[in-house]
Structure 1
Amino acid sequence: MKRLIDFLIALTALALLSPIFLWVAYKVRKNIGSPIFFLQERPGQDAKIFKMIKFRSMLNATDKEGNPLPDDQRITPFGHKLRSTSLDEMPQLINVLKGDMSIVGPRPQMKEFLEHYTPHQMRRHEVKPGMTGLAQVSGRNHLSWEEKFELDVRYVEQQSLWLDFKIMFKTVKVMLKKEGINAPDQEVGAARFSSKNISNTTLSKNR
Structure 2
Amino acid sequence: MDEHEPLHTTQKRLKAIWDAVPDMPGAKLTGPDWIRSPEKRGLDLLVATTLLPVYLPTVAVGASLMYFGDGVAPLFWQRRIGRNGIPFKLLKVRTMRDVRGQDASRGSADPRALPVGKVLRKVTIDQFTELVNVLGGDMAMANPRPLLPSDRGLMRDLLTPSEYREWDWASTIGRPGMYSTFGNESIRLEPQTEEYLRRRFECDVEDAHCASLERDMKILGDTAKIGWSFVGHGS
Q: Say which is worse superposed, 89-98 or 104-113, in terms of deviation.
A: 104-113
The equivalences for 1:15-94 within 5 A come to 15-60=53-98, 72=111, 74-94=112-132
Task: Check if 1:146 corresponds to 2:188.
Answer: no
Is 2:143 the partner of 1:105? yes
Tell me the residue number matched to 1:134. Answer: 181
Query: Which protein, 1 or 2, shows the higher relative CO under an 8 Å CA cutoff with sep ≥ 6?
Result: 2
Q: Which amino acid aligns with 1:163?
A: R
Q: What's the CA shift for 1:21?
A: 2.3
Aligned with residue 7 of structure 1, among 42, 45, 63: 45
Deviations along 1:44-82, one digit per CA (max 9) or x if unpaired, are 1111101111111111399xxxxxxxx63x532212222
Instruction: Tell me how far apart the structure 2 counterparts of residues 141 and 125 of structure 1 sit (CA, whole Å).
Output: 25
Is 2:210 aligned against 1:163?
A: no
Alpha-carbon distance between aligned partners in 1 of 2:58 and 2:42, rounded to the nearest angstrom: 24
**SS in structure 2 at match of 1:91:** helix
Q: Deviations over 1:137-182 (max 9, x none)?
A: 345452521111121011111111111111111111122224xxxx
| Segment of structure 1 superposing worse, 31-40 or 153-162 | 31-40
Q: Match of 1:137, SS?
A: helix
Unaligned runs of 5+ in 2: 1-38, 101-109, 190-194, 231-235
Secondary structure of the equivalent of 2:146? coil
CA contact (8 A) 1:32 1:57 kept: no
In structure 2, the CA distance between the partners of 1:112 and 1:14, relative to structure 1 (3 Å rule), is same
Deviations 1:79-102 (A, max 9, x none): 222222211111011111111111
Unmatched runs of 5 consecutive residues or more in structure 1:
63-70, 179-207
RMSD, aligned α-carbons: 2.4
**Aligned partners of 1:32 and 1:58 also within 8 Å:** no
CA distance in 2, matches of 1:34, 1:160: 41
- Which stretch shifts more, 131-140 or 159-168? 131-140
**Bigger proportion of residues as helix:** 2
Distance 1:14 1:130 in 2: 16
